[in-house]
Structure 1
Amino acid sequence: MMLPYDDRDGKIWMNGDLVDWRDAKVHVLSHALHYASSVFEGERCYDGKIFKGHEHSLRLLESGRLLDMPIPYTAEEIDAAKEAVLKANGFENAYVRVVAWRGSGLDMGVSAARNPVCMAVAAWEWGSYYGDAKWQGAKLDVAKWKRPSPETIPTAAKAAGLYMICTMSKHAAEAKGCSDALFMDWEGYVAEATGANIFFVKDGEIHTPMADRFLNGITRQTIIQMLRDKGLTVHERRILPDELESFQECWLTGTAAEVTPVGQIGDWHFQVGQITRDVAESYEALVRA
């Protein structure tokens, strides 16, 4: 039975201490709640080891820097906090969420330089992000919202505010019976899904949008290197929506999504083909190596 996320047994690391799960609370006048001053990371622990955990810790710090929100911990201290949470909860295989935010303090307005930056780490056991779609091929809607220009917001940050249109788009997709939604960017090129990067296959070669206007996922980078190590050609480029009908295979990548085949985007259909299956199997082997 699913339990609400605020009512579970276990421990959460919060500002340097392990606290009871139900006691991990913030004040209603925390700056992040009103102005989205929050960054986060999602990670997976496989057989007792967080995959690329240090890279995630470094990216959290960079996200904080991009939002003018210096996080008061080193990457090594963040790594140690994650390990402490996994040990305290007895998890060998789990999803790990690290979040940093501007808390409550002397300021309660747009400016919040005098408010402390807080951090918490939680972990829970979590299966496939897309459920059965991970094996059968996910069905995606096409979002009405666009990924914003990097001139409007620091798109290289994993910032909470960037996900509001993701929530709205995923709700709209689910109402249509889809698992997720695909975004175009502000110029109309294919960008990413609500929480995952996207890849396509055409005549044995791989095509994926250039990650210079949305988050360059750690899983995305891992998969590109894996494909090139296998001798496959990977094109990182601008992709027009009209090109989707020419691709034979498609998959999503992300820490939560791992490697999830896509069977349909809007009116376009794709095979869950051999390259997709091989990538999914190779990634599963890599994270558990």
Structure 2
Amino acid sequence: MAAAYDDRDGKIWMDGKLVEWRDAKVHILTHALHYASSVFEGERCYNGKIFKGHEHSKRLLRSGELLDMPIPYSAEEIDAAKEAVLKANGWDNAYIRALAWRGAGEDMGVASKRNPVRLAVAAWEWGNYYGDAKMKGAKLDIAKWRRPDPATIPSEAKAAGLYMICTMSKHAAEAKGCSDAMMLDYRGYVAEATGANIFFVKDGEVHTPLADCFLNGLTRQTVIQMLKDMQIKVHERHIMPDELESFEQCWLTGTAAEVTPVGSIGDYTFEVGDLAKRVVAEYERLVRA
């Protein structure tokens, strides 16, 4: 069993320099800890190359802008920090977490303009997010919590505070013996899983929820383009929950999830079919090219 995430050997990049893993700490009055002023990225490195690393760095900066939290580094500087972490730890295959947050400073209320925006990059070796689900298909619950109206949150940001209901939904799913949960949006349409986008197959065509109130994942975008290149029709649209009965296959996409087939969502079952297997294989080929 791997050591706890606060007690490992290695290096983490913080605010411009590499520090010992166990010394990568923040103060208890860090603004982000109290008011969720934090954004992050999850990325994977395959055979020494971070997949879409620069796109992730640019999205991190955009997330900071959406939270009125300008990050004091360029995308190129963030790219370099990620490479430094991988080199310092000697990893060619790893998961990378870049995190920006409002630190401790002169403000300790909701407003925090005088507090510094800090940046850290950590990485670790991480296998399949859903274990053996790539062969058998993941088992999903249907969450009671819904993705909110984008008029209430910056849904285009990958912000830590937006994951609170995801954590609760995943905990509830795991208590039922599931790997994850599918969430609906505020209107009752199918949205996504707690940390991954979702796709369905019907009559050889692919259907995926329209990303109008949740994060349009980089892996989602990659897979949509991959399907189009394979001459497979993709429908980005609103999907009602009762449509799940008519779908034949299903899979999840995300940096952590990669492409993971789904075997069931609540009482609905799906086959791990030829198209799902093909997308898994094509994505694996692409990221390791």
Do they fold alike, i.e. is TM over 0.5? yes
Distance (whole Å) between structure 2 residues aligned to residue 136 and residue 258 of structure 1: 15
Count of residue correspondences? 289
Task: Identify the residue that residue 192 of structure 1 maps to in structure 2.
Answer: 192
Residue 145 (1) aligns with residue 168 (2): no
Residue 119 (1) aligns with residue 122 (2): no
* Residue type of the alignment partner of 1:255: T
Residue 21 (1) aligns with residue 21 (2): yes
Structure 1 residue 132, shift from structure 2 partner:
1.1
Task: Identify the residue that residue 249 of structure 1 maps to in structure 2.
Answer: 249
Distance (whole Å) between structure 2 residues aligned to residue 8 and residue 123 of structure 1: 11
Tell me the C-alpha RMSD between the 2 structures: 0.4
Distance (whole Å) between structure 1 residues aligned to residue 13 and residue 134 of structure 2: 31
Matches within 5 A, 1:10-89: 10-89=10-89
Task: Identify the residue that residue 229 of structure 1 maps to in structure 2.
Answer: 229
How does the TM-score come out when normalised to structure 2? 1.00
Structure 1 residue 186, shift from structure 2 partner:
0.3
* Residue type of the alignment partner of 1:173: A
Distance (whole Å) between structure 2 residues aligned to residue 21 and residue 131 of structure 1: 26
SS at match of 2:239: coil
SS at match of 2:184: strand
Matches within 5 A, 1:255-270: 255-270=255-270
Structure 1 residue 31, shift from structure 2 partner:
0.2
SS at match of 1:285: helix
TM superposition outliers: structure 1 runs of 4+ over 3 Å: none
Matches within 5 A, 1:100-139: 100-139=100-139
Structure 1 residue 60, shift from structure 2 partner:
0.2
Task: Identify the residue that residue 202 of structure 1 maps to in structure 2.
Answer: 202
Deviations 1:34-89 (A, max 9, x none): 00000000000000000000000000000000000000000000000000000000
SS at match of 1:216: coil
Distance (whole Å) between structure 2 residues aligned to residue 198 and residue 254 of structure 1: 9
Structure 1 residue 210, shift from structure 2 partner:
0.5
* Residue type of the alignment partner of 1:109: G
Matches within 5 A, 1:205-224: 205-224=205-224
Q: Which runs of 5+ in 1 are unaligned?
A: none
Structure 1 residue 287, shift from structure 2 partner:
0.1
SS at match of 1:156: coil
How does the TM-score come out when normalised to structure 1? 1.00
* Residue type of the alignment partner of 2:84: A
Matches within 5 A, 1:277-288: 277-288=277-288
SS at match of 2:216: coil
Structure 1 residue 243, shift from structure 2 partner:
0.3
Distance (whole Å) between structure 1 residues aligned to residue 23 and residue 135 of structure 2: 38
Distance (whole Å) between structure 2 residues aligned to residue 246 and residue 16 of structure 1: 52
Task: Identify the residue that residue 183 of structure 1 maps to in structure 2.
Answer: 183
* Residue type of the alignment partner of 1:111: A
Give % identity: 77
* Residue type of the alignment partner of 1:193: A
Structure 1 residue 134, shift from structure 2 partner:
2.3
Residue 7 (1) aligns with residue 4 (2): no
SS at match of 1:181: strand
* Residue type of the alignment partner of 1:272: V
